[in-house]
Amino acid sequence: MNGSSITTEHREEKRHLRERSHTITRHTIPSTGLAEPPNNVEEGDSAKHFADTTDDLATINDQIQGLMVPSEEVLEDEEDYSDDESAVPTTGQASPKSLLSTTSSMVSYVSSASAYDILLSRLGNSQVDPFARPETVDQRTNDEEDDHHSPRVSHEVKEDVKDDEDADWEFWAKVISDFKSVTAKELSSCIRRGIPNSLRGTIWQLLAKSKDGKLEQTYMQLLKQESVYEKAITRDLSRILPHNQYVQSTSGKDSLFNVAKAYSLYDQAVGYCQDILCIIGPLLLNMPEEETFCVLVQIMHRYGLRDYFIPQSNFLSQRLYQFSVLVSENLPHISRYLEFQGIQDNMYAARWFTSLFACKFPFEFVFRVYDLFLSEGQDVLLRVALAVLNQNQATILALEHDNLLRFLKNDLVDISEAAVDNIIHYTAELCIPPRRLERLAKQYQADAARSSSSDANAIESLRRQNKTLSETVRELQRNLNSLNREHDTIAKELIESKMEIARVHDENDALRQQSFDLKRALEALHVEVESRIKTEMSALSTKNAALMDRNVELEEQLASMEKTVIDMKLQFLESENERDSLDRRLNDLKRLMP
């Protein structure tokens, strides 16, 4: 394009628009807007790159011819603008290579400039990684090198996602610059084809209507407070999205922790759940922390996802009931087979809804789900879940219980790029009237009410039984107390008996020892006595022999003495006879004498 065709008035207007956008960004936006074209690339070269890479936009070239300003003056203005912007010490300012920005900065810029400025900014910087992580001032200081090696999306995802070159840049520029003028049908059609990666964070914020400066300030204040869930969040950081390089990096974990902690303080009725971290992950890959927090608040409140996490809420059960009925209606073979295998929907599908499919599914699929969710609302998740089952119908019908459940919980998430397109196409083609979902919800509520009524009767009966059992328990308690007292008495007696038994055992042991000692002493004494007896018997034998000899000698002496006595008796008799004879003679003499 010839620069002489651009009027001075047009150049002045261009400069004014740029200065206005820059002023708004400096004073109201915590992160930078769209990246300006590199200073070392002339605008004419950018236009050439734009023409080479977007042939499908040739039909609108006439509309953007008047907006191309390759003159030195404009280049000079852009350099001044870039220098001024880099000098502004705004909190949370993104690096020059970041293509992600806050919604307000994007809208401020685009509402002032033409759609072509947006396209030129996107395509003129095609050499910049569209997944570069937006930084804050604090993060840039500590994590600059880490961010360089930890892109928000893994290399595999960047290869698998739909190329931004196929996007309708004119339409997306219109969406960003004048969102309200875009018809719902037209927006839905383009979203189903996929939002360009470099615009996804911005479009998500527009769809969620999440831009709120006060809420961002609230987020900053919440970061200064302490949460009772901090330990639980820290514990779960390494468990979710383990294969994503950015999420598992230090800066990624810090961002996840900050957003989850802030939300646990912001919505204390919900607090924290691991699936909230899964929801935050894909958002952080496309926008800064404060914007992620704002979108999360909208997802939980405006889109009703917090109903899954409120304590004592039956919303997840209601959603699974709707899903089960829809599977039986749309995929009857799978429904019957899963029922035959004894697999219920809550065994594998609960986390699909509570985490927006971000718990294990690949990001190229999760991003597309987020596109649909933020565009069409929560009910689209049912259609996506049905599409996932339909895509894997042949494999599901070929597996049995354990392997089938393992496939549904783990292997089902391996989705190729072609499968992603098929799932999104099936989701778009599948029609589930909202009235049908409302009827299913009412039916579930009616069933739950009937169940609650029967449960109420059962509870009343249980209360009566509980009263009777309470009286029985009290009576048993009294008996137990009496038995405890008796038990204490018996226990004391038992202790005393045991002590007595122990004493008797000690005495028995002492007596056994004494008996053993006596036995040993008796055995020793028996030997000693036997030896002594033998010695004494020998001595007695010798003495007896001597006595026998003495006895023989005495007997001989006795015999001799007896003989002597006999002799003496004989002599005595003789003497007696002589005395008698003498007495007679004496008497005779006396008679003879006068």
175-198 residue pLDDT tens? 888 888 888 888 888 888 889 888
Q: Report residue 12's pLDDT band, with 50, 70 and 90 as the boundaries.
A: low
DSSP label of 131: T
Domains defined along the chain, listed by start: 195-310 (1.10.8.270), 314-360+368-432 (1.10.472.80)
Q: Report residue 48's pLDDT band, with 50, 70 and 90 as the boundaries.
A: very low
Q: Residue 43 pLDDT more than 70?
A: no
Q: Residue 279 pLDDT more than 90?
A: yes
The arithmetic mean of pLDDT across residues 137-162, rounded, is 40
CB distance 408 to 385 below 8 Å:
no
* Residue-level pLDDT at 400: 87
The arithmetic mean of pLDDT across residues 432-448, rounded, is 89
Which residue intervals of 72-212 are DSSP H helices?
Answer: 72-87, 103-112, 115-124, 137-149, 155-160, 169-177, 184-193, 200-208
| Distances, alpha carbon 445 to alpha carbons 315, 321, 413, 437, 441, in Å | 10, 10, 32, 12, 6
Report the amino acid identity of residue 411.
D
For 330-368, how does the pLDDT look when each residue is reduced to its tens digit (9 = 90+)? Answer: 999 999 999 999 999 889 999 999 999 988 888 889 999
For 229-270, how does the pLDDT look when each residue is reduced to its tens digit (9 = 90+)? Answer: 999 999 998 888 777 788 788 888 999 999 999 999 999 999
The position carrying tokens 């008047």 is 66
DSSP label of 309: T
In percent, the amount of the chain with pLDDT more than 90 equals: 30
Helices and strands of the chain, counted as H and E runs: 25, 0
| Distances, alpha carbon 93 to alpha carbons 96, 97, 116, 289, 390, in Å | 9, 12, 24, 12, 45
For 105-123, how does the pLDDT look when each residue is reduced to its tens digit (9 = 90+)? Answer: 343 333 334 334 544 454 4
- The CA distance from 335 to 317, in Å, is 17
Encoded tokens for 150 = 């930890």
User: Where does residue 239 rank: exposed (0-12), middle (13-18), buried (19+ CB within 10 A)?
Assistant: exposed
Question: Residue 587, Cβ neighbours under 10 Å: how many?
Answer: 10
Q: Report residue 594's pLDDT band, with 50, 70 and 90 as the boundaries.
A: low
CB distance 318 to 444 below 8 Å:
yes
